[in-house]
Amino acid sequence: MSELGQKEIDAMLFRARRPGILLNKTKSPDDPGATGCWLGGEPTMPPEIDWPWYRETELGIETPMLLLAQIDLTQVPRFASLPSMPETGTLFFFHDPLYAPFYSYTAGSRVIYVDHDVSELPMRPAPPLPEPEEIVDDGARTLRRQIGTYRRWNVDFLIFEHFRHDLVPNRQLEDHALNANSKVIDSLQKITRPRHTGFGPDRAQGFAFHHMLGTCFEGNRYPDGELTRLLTIDMGGDQDIGFTGGERLVFWVPDDDLEAHNFDNALLLSE
């Protein structure tokens, strides 16, 4: 295969580029960010909506899910190729941190959409998690000792561009897309590191990259079907909030459902 010229590379990257939205944590958890948008904490979910639980009767599992993020859609930046999705209302993203990592992320997750303003509603505390001695699964019991609830942290938004390396026609072009994404990650790290407490003795290691509608990590995958990558939570990289685990959790929603403002069939997968 002959070497590609810069014009060919630039044209490929142009066709493969996609926008995404960084959920950029404020400098401290109480600093104001985008109205009605935060990671962790408690939701302003209407009281008539039942709190989501993860239940597996045969396994004797029953535990409340925790809030990963609340997003007021009126605050989300708009761009030309934004998927067809609601422009108003609020999305609440929940997951079970105890059993889902061992059994089913999708069964242990829920996306709830409320189409009206919830800004004046009070915070709803989560039902208490089971105590460690009540948990029969060894792995879940270990996680319970690490988790109480997730600390609330306000966020604002920043649009970035990434490159879908799975859309390029050959390996040579894919390498260029991956290299371009590495540069994107480097630039985002410079923005987010001052707002992030990492791991290690100097508390400077780690990089939390919470984002919507895109990703620039190598190995990003797209499940079968017409799906939109709605929200990615970097569980392994954010000690500030108390996220645990070494993976990224990705909420996917079928494109038809997204257009119909239906989030009941959202999938949660890890990568």
pLDDT tens readout for residues 14-24: 766 677 888 98
- The amino acid sitting at 97 is P
Q: Looking at residue 171, what is its pLDDT? A: 64
Token couple for 243: 């996220």
pLDDT band with cut points at 50, 70 and 90 for residue 219: very low
Q: What is the pTM of this model?
A: 0.85
pLDDT band with cut points at 50, 70 and 90 for residue 93: very high
**Is the confidence at residue 27, as pLDDT, over 80?**
yes
pLDDT band with cut points at 50, 70 and 90 for residue 218: very low
Q: Looking at residue 7, what is its pLDDT? A: 78
- If one compares 204 and 188, the residue with the highest pLDDT of the two is 188
| Euclidean distance between CA atoms 67 and 64, whole angstroms | 10
Q: Considering just the CA atoms, what is the radius of gyration of the chain in Å?
A: 19
> Around 254, how many Cα atoms within 13 Å sit in the side-chain half-sphere?
9
Residue-averaged pLDDT of the chain: 80
Q: How many CB atoms lie within 10 A of CB 3?
A: 7
Q: How many CB atoms lie within 10 A of CB 136?
A: 11
**Residue labelled with tokens 């003795």:** 201
pLDDT band with cut points at 50, 70 and 90 for residue 213: confident
- The amino acid sitting at 213 is L
| Euclidean distance between CA atoms 8 and 173, whole angstroms | 9
Q: Looking at residue 194, what is its pLDDT? A: 58
- If one compares 171 and 211, the residue with the highest pLDDT of the two is 211
Note the pLDDT tens digit of each residue in 150-173: 889 999 998 877 766 666 666 666
**Is the confidence at residue 147, as pLDDT, over 70?**
yes
Specify the pairing of strand 53-56 against strand 61-64. Answer: antiparallel
Q: Looking at residue 220, what is its pLDDT? A: 47
Q: Looking at residue 211, what is its pLDDT? A: 86
**Is the confidence at residue 12, as pLDDT, over 50?**
yes
- If one compares 58 and 151, the residue with the highest pLDDT of the two is 151
**Is the confidence at residue 136, as pLDDT, over 50?**
yes
Q: Looking at residue 66, what is its pLDDT? A: 92
| Euclidean distance between CA atoms 242 and 153, whole angstroms | 11
pLDDT band with cut points at 50, 70 and 90 for residue 201: very low
Kindly provide the b/e burial profile for residues 224-261, where b requires at least 16 CB atoms within 10 angstroms of the residue's own CB: eeebbbbbbbbbbbbbbbbbebeebbbbbbbeebbeee
